[in-house]
Amino acid sequence: MPDGRCDIILRYNIHGSDAPIPVITGPATQAYTVEYDVGDSWLGIRLRPDNGRALWQSRIAQAADTVLRGQDALSLMPGLAALKGGQMTAANLANAVEITMTLNLDHRLIRALDVLHASGGRMRIEKLARFAGCTSRHLNRVFRSNIGLTAKTYAQLVQFNRTLRLIQQEHLPITGAAFEGGYADHAHLTRAFRRFGGFTPSDPPNELSLPVLFS
The helix/strand/coil state of 67 is strand
The distance of closest approach from Cβ of residue 154 to another protein in the complex, given in angstroms and rounded to an integer, is: 16
Closer by beta carbon to another protein, 72 or else 114 = 114
Q: How many CB atoms lie within 10 A of CB 169?
A: 9
Q: How far apart are CA 196 and CA 32, in angstroms?
A: 10
**Is residue 120 a contact point for another protein (CB under 8 A)?**
yes
Nearby residues of 67 by Cβ (< 8 Å), 6 or more positions away: 23, 24, 25, 26
Check the CA dihedral 120-122-128-131 and report its sign: negative
- Which stretch in 49-57, 64-72, 95-103, 163-171 sits in contact with another protein by CB under 8 A? 163-171
Q: How far apart are CA 22 and CA 26, in angstroms?
A: 14
Instruction: Report the greatest alpha carbon distance in the chain.
Output: 53
**Is residue 45 a contact point for another protein (CB under 8 A)?**
no
- Which stretch in 49-57, 114-122, 191-199, 207-215 sits in contact with another protein by CB under 8 A? 114-122
**Which DSSP helix (H) or strand (E) runs through 201?**
none
Closer by beta carbon to another protein, 82 or else 187 = 187
Among 42, 100, 180, 190, binds another protein (CB under 8 A): 180
**Is residue 170 a contact point for another protein (CB under 8 A)?**
yes
Q: How far apart are CA 97 and CA 73, in angstroms?
A: 13
The distance of closest approach from Cβ of residue 169 to another protein in the complex, given in angstroms and rounded to an integer, is: 8
**Is residue 182 a contact point for another protein (CB under 8 A)?**
yes
Positions touching another protein (CB under 8 A) are 118-120, 122-123, 166, 169-172, 176, 179-180, 182
